[in-house]
Structures are given as structure tokens and as C-alpha cells.
Amino acid sequence: MVTFPRLEVIAAVTVTLRSDEGSYGFDDALEIVTRASRALLQATGALEAPVTRQQLFPFYSFVDENDDGEVTEPLVVIFEDAYFGPSRADRHQVQRAERHLFAALSCDPVETYHHFKLEARRALQVSGHYEDAVLKAATACEVLIKHTSWYLTWEASRVLPADPCLTNASSGAEIFTSRPAALIGSVLAPRLRGSWDSKEPDAPIARWRNSVARLRNRVIHLGHRPTETEAAEALEVVDVLEKHVMDRLASAVSTYPRSALKLVHRDGLERRGQFNRRARAVWDSESLGDHLRAYLKWLETYDIEGAE
């Protein structure tokens, strides 16, 4: 019997090994445990969070039985992904926390995006609310797509001497009532160029559409209950979409330096080798805080709350 100091066995599940499907049965066992915990919560009306993988210290063992009835335990596998709370913040993390605090006080949409992204991860890994994880992941993506589109449009129409993409990208009030998919086609793709293919299965936009946007619609309109796997995939795609948008913004820094500096930030541009002379000139001579305030004031002139 395997024992762990200060840890308690709360469930034991037996599943059949399915070697033909390449599964060792752990995911099947965990699914039984999580479903059983949810059923108990529903039956008792308890308000505790459902069981998740990160709340456990899971392990499973292989048990073989030969023709004579002898039972052996040839292997025990331990999953070391239990959640024991956060570690102490280091100096760099404290500095990032200060920036996030200032951004929140400034109503910075970048902080809003990171808020929903973190809430989605917390819903997945801590509380086990997979519906919340999917909805918050979808919200994070929508904030990212919309504010990137709007910030680019603001810079092009209110700051630059001439709009570099006037004939291709939306610049009127319709961008505030456009859905994220429409903004990708009408603003992000023509302004930032690069690949925004929604049909190639492994492309960032296709993954967002299939694993986040459509899953969100199934949850809201059909009452679909996403699995842990679906919720985890949605969270992964948030990172994929963020990287794609930030990479394209960095590549367009010479055309839209304020948008790139605001959304990718100087650190992100430097990591990508895109903190060029155009970006440095804006960084040294202009106030990004003033730009943010001007952008937020510009948004106030439109009925953003009425947008879907």
C-alpha cells in the first residue's frame, strides 16, 4: 500500500486498461471522480468547489492477475501536479504586479484581458468550473481582438498623418458593433497582414474559432457542459491567439508604433527584435499614458455597450 504523509485517500477507482486506444486509464478514473464529486455537491447543496486534478495528489497503479489468480502490482505512477498555493513573489513579479495595478487604475484594456485570462485559468485549475473557464477564455479573446482592432483604428484615424489602410479597413462606427470574426477580417488582417486563415485547422484563428468561439456558443445556446479537456484546450488557444496577435503587431511597429508599444510593450518588442528606431522615437518623445487616455476618451464617443 502506497502512503503519503499528511495526505488522505479520498477516492479509489478501478478502470480497465485499454492498451488498444493508447490509454492507461488515468483520465477515465479522474473523470469518474470529478463526476461523482459534482453529483455529491448537487445532492447535498454544498458550496465547496468541485474536485479538480490540481486539488488532488493523484496516483494510479497497474494491477495484473494471471491465470492462477495471482495479483501483482508491477507499477505505480504518481502525478506531481497537485496545487499547494502560490509561492513567494520575486522582485520581477512584484514589478509586474505594480504595472498591473497601475493599469487597472487606468482602465487599461490590456489589464482587463489579463484579468479574464487569469480568471479562466483559476476556474479550470482551482474551482473546477469548466463552463466558467470556457466563457472567461472567450471573453479574454474578445477583449484582445476588439481592443487591438480599436486601438489600431484610433491610431490610424486620430494620430497618424494619413491612414495607411484607409481603403481596406473599417474606420467608422461599425467597428464597434462588429463581432470578433468580422474585426479579424476587416481590421486585423488588412492592417497587420500575415496569415489570418480560419480554415487551416492548426492556424491560430481557426483554433480560436473552433476551440473557443464555437465552444462558447455551445455552452451559452445549447447548455453544453465542457469537459476538462475542452476547457484546457480553450485556455491553450488563448495563449496561441495572444502570441499571434502580438507577433503581428510587433511586425507592424513601423506603421503602428503606438499600438505596438501599448499592447506588446517595449519588453515584448525587444524580445522579438522589433524595438526599432521608429518605436524608440515614440517611446522617448511621447507619453503612452496620454495616448491611453485619448483612446479611452475616443471610445466614449461611441455606444460601445450596445455592441455584441
Whole-number Cα distances in Å, 279 to 226, 248, 273: 43, 15, 11
* 170/230 Cα distance (integer angstroms): 34
Examine residue 11 and state whether it is found in any structural domain, yes or no. no
Query: Based on the domain organization, do 250 and 223 belong to the same domain?
Result: yes
Same domain, 167 and 258: yes
Cβ atoms within 10 Å, residue 75: 11
Count of alpha carbons within 13 angstroms of residue 87, beta-carbon side: 3
Residues 46 and 194 in one domain: no
Residue 192 located in a structural domain: yes
Tens-digit pLDDT profile for residues 190-210? 999 999 988 888 999 999 999
Same domain, yes or no: 145 and 269: yes
For residues 73 and 105, state if they share a domain.
no
> Angle at Cα 140 formed by Cα 122 and Cα 286, nearest 5°?
120
Please choose, from the candidates 106, 129, 109, the residue with its C-alpha nearest in 3D space to the C-alpha of residue 52. 129
Residues 111 and 58 in one domain: no
Query: What integer pLDDT is reported at residue 17 of this predicted model?
Result: 63
Do 30 and 141 have their domain in common?
no
Q: What is the pLDDT of residue 19?
A: 55
Q: For residue 7, is it within any domain?
A: no
Q: Do 52 and 130 belong together in one domain?
A: no
Q: Are residues 102 and 55 in the same domain?
A: no
Tens-digit pLDDT profile for the chain (308 aa)? 445 555 666 677 776 665 555 555 677 777 888 888 878 877 777 777 777 777 777 666 667 778 887 877 666 666 666 655 666 778 887 877 788 888 888 889 999 999 999 899 989 888 889 999 999 999 999 999 999 999 999 999 999 999 998 766 666 778 888 999 999 999 999 999 999 988 888 999 999 999 999 999 999 999 999 999 999 999 999 999 999 999 999 999 999 999 999 999 999 999 999 999 999 999 999 999 999 999 999 998 876 654 44
Q: Is residue 4 part of a domain?
A: no
Q: Are residues 52 and 161 in the same domain?
A: no
To the nearest 10 degrees (0 to 180), the angle between helices 26-44 and 228-251 is: 110
Residue 154 cell numbers, joined: 484610433
- Inside any domain, residue 220: yes
Whole-number pLDDT of residue 1: 45
Let me know if residue 226 belongs to a domain. Answer: yes
pLDDT digits (tens, 9 = 90+) for 258-298: 999 999 999 999 999 999 999 999 999 999 999 999 999 99
In a domain, 194, yes or no: yes
Cβ neighbours, 10 Å, residue 108: 21
Count of domains in the chain?
2
Whether 179 and 136 share a structural domain: yes
The DSSP code for 162 is S
pTM of the model: 0.79
Domain extent, residue 100, equals 91-306
Q: Do 49 and 96 share a domain, yes or no?
A: no
Q: For strand 59-65 and strand 71-78, is the pairing parallel, antiparallel, or unpaired?
A: antiparallel
Domain end residue (candidates: 78, 112, 127):
78
- Which of 50, 78, 106 corresponds to the end of one domain? 78
The angle subtended at Cα 130 by Cα 210 and Cα 242, nearest 5°, is 50
- Residue 297 domain-assigned? yes
Number of Cβ within 10 Å of residue 93's Cβ equals 12
